[in-house]
A and B are shown apart, each in its own frame.
Chain A
Amino acid sequence: MTATRRALDTLAILLAILAIWEVLHRVAGETALPAPAETLSYLIRTVPTARFAENAAATAAAFGLALILAYGIGLAIGIWMGAHRLSGAVGEPILVSLYSLPKITLYPVVLLIFGLGLSAKVAFGAMHGILPVALLTMGAIRAIPPVYLRAARTLHLSPWQTITTVLLPAALPEVFTGLRIGFTVTLLGVLLGEMFASKAGLGYMIMNAMSLAQSKEMVAVAIVLFGFAALANALLLWIEHRLHQRV
């Protein structure tokens, strides 16, 4: 009963958003903000095109690589700082400060180092994602009850076995939260990169559409990105809840 009610509520909110959109469209005019219905039909027509696919592939490539780096480096830093008390105590405030910095400020430096192109976007995206992964992984490891380590020794586990069969599962739920947030901010980083100095990707598509006053394309691509991010996040959240249930 409540599940259907919640679904209906969500539907109601979506309809409200569509209604507000329509009103804003009337006020702002066609060139500024297209109507919902037209945007939707434009979206349906554009997504299957080769042009869209190329740009989507470019974003996907940058995002995928950035994510691998963010996860790999973030996990490594998080595990080290979580296991090694001193490093964690020294490094945590540094990571927290870096996390709340407007990293877009450093994008030109990234461009200077990596040049224009894929590696700059990947680096920029990874820069964003490393921090939440590291911080939450560190927290997860610190939160492991010390008695687990002693129990592992009484059960005659080797260090490797202790890590894989005790520490990893114990830390997994919180580490996964870090991975979920890392996913989000890495995507944002890649898109920001594409919006500034790039000739490919969905972020570039939006900026290009803006410069050509193609408002339908702007909004349509934005909606696709929104949808992707929302669905991915919902999926990751679902997994996260399942992991947290048992702990």
Chain B
Amino acid sequence: MARDVHAQLAGVTRVYPGGGEHPPVHALGPVDLDLHKGEFFAVVGPSGCGKSTLLEVLAGLQRPTAGTVTFEGKAVSGEVADGIGVVFQEDASFPWLTVWDNAAFGLRRSGVAESKLRRRVDDALAFMGLKDFARAYPSQLSGGMRQRVCIARTLVLEPRLILLDEPFGALDAQTRLLMGDEVLRLWRQTGATVLLITHALDEAAMLADRIGAMSARPGCFIEIIETGWPNGRDSTIVAEPAFGEITGRLWERLRGESLKALGHSSLAQSAPPSALAAE
């Protein structure tokens, strides 16, 4: 079932140049990825494997050291293309604006008519369950709600590709599952292509059509797993046996990589990691 390729990474590598006392860091790649139109793709991998770098390169926030990035047939380089929306790991809500003004922020700058802007913002806030908090300031809201404000701000721009960088990292486990339901709802409603970065295997297994398991740094895809979930899924699929299989398979591929990632950080200690590498 050949579907349109919406965005593509071909042979992408990212090396952070060294500076002064720091040697260059080969953070990512080489990575090949075809994102199909309207699919939900999750990227999982150990910390430091370059997942966030992959997202930023895809978004146009960083240039790859090698390889090409394309979105809707056009090359992506150096600037964020129109039609791409990004939700970051850190809280990027602007504390000096109300929730409403935060959501309206991106659209304001693009010269859309006031009435249209108002409608889009109201719809986005209603969709994210923030209608009652339109006049509140982010500092008055919880972390999860602030992330929803950021998502609303992205939604208002009606992106065709939505990139989410561990958006629920700071939240507790139950809230994460519920937010997962929200993201699925968002995905179905907008019909956008979604790329979600997460370190939580269960989150990836529950949300995605396809999951890319990434190796330890420099990150490359070890395997891409197809989940085969129906479109109308929600968090209750965690009860399905297939869910357990998928998570099990992911861990099988990633356990060794996670150990390697841990081994990298323990280079500073004297104990040799050789015992850990024994497989």
A–B proximity contact (CB within 8 A):
yes
User: Could you tell me which A residues sit within 8 Å of B by CB distance?
Assistant: 145, 147-148, 150-151, 153-157, 161, 165-166, 169-170, 172, 246-247
Say whether, besides A154-B84, A155-B157, A166 and B94 are in contact (CB < 8 Å): yes
Interface residues of B in 61-91 (CB under 8 A from A): 61, 79-80, 82, 84-86, 88-91
User: Could you tell me which B residues sit within 8 Å of A by CB distance?
Assistant: 56, 59, 61, 79-80, 82, 84-86, 88-92, 94-97, 105-106, 109-110, 137, 139, 150, 153-154, 157
Contact (Cβ within 8 A) A155 B105: yes
Additional 20 contacts, C-beta under 8 A, given A147-B89, A150-B92, A156-B82: A147-B91, A150-B56, A150-B61, A150-B88, A151-B86, A151-B88, A151-B150, A153-B79, A154-B84, A154-B85, A155-B105, A156-B109, A157-B109, A161-B109, A165-B109, A166-B94, A169-B94, A170-B95, A172-B96, A247-B95
| For the complex of A and B, 8 pairs with smallest distance between CB atoms | A155-B106, A151-B92, A147-B90, A154-B86, A169-B96, A247-B95, A147-B92, A154-B80
* 9 intermolecular pairs with C-beta atoms under 8 Å apart: A147-B90, A148-B94, A150-B56, A153-B79, A154-B61, A155-B105, A156-B106, A170-B95, A172-B96
Which B residue's beta carbon lies closest to that of A155?
B106
Using a Cβ cutoff of 8 Å, how many contacts connect chains A and B?
58
A169–B138 CA distance with the chains assembled, in angstroms: 14
Write out the residue numbers on chain A whose beta carbons fall within 8 Å of the beta carbon of B86.
Answer: 150-151, 154
A157–B94 CA distance with the chains assembled, in angstroms: 14
Which A residue's beta carbon lies closest to that of B92?
A151
Write out the residue numbers on chain A whose beta carbons fall within 8 Å of the beta carbon of B88.
Answer: 147, 150-151
A147–B110 CA distance with the chains assembled, in angstroms: 21
Return B168 CB to nearest CB of chain A, in Å.
16
A225–B90 CA distance with the chains assembled, in angstroms: 47
A246–B96 CA distance with the chains assembled, in angstroms: 6
Write out the residue numbers on chain A whose beta carbons fall within 8 Å of the beta carbon of B97.
Answer: 169
Contact (Cβ within 8 A) A154 B110: no
Which A residue's beta carbon lies closest to that of B107?
A155
Which B residue's beta carbon lies closest to that of A153?
B80
A157–B108 CA distance with the chains assembled, in angstroms: 10
A161–B106 CA distance with the chains assembled, in angstroms: 11
A47–B139 CA distance with the chains assembled, in angstroms: 47
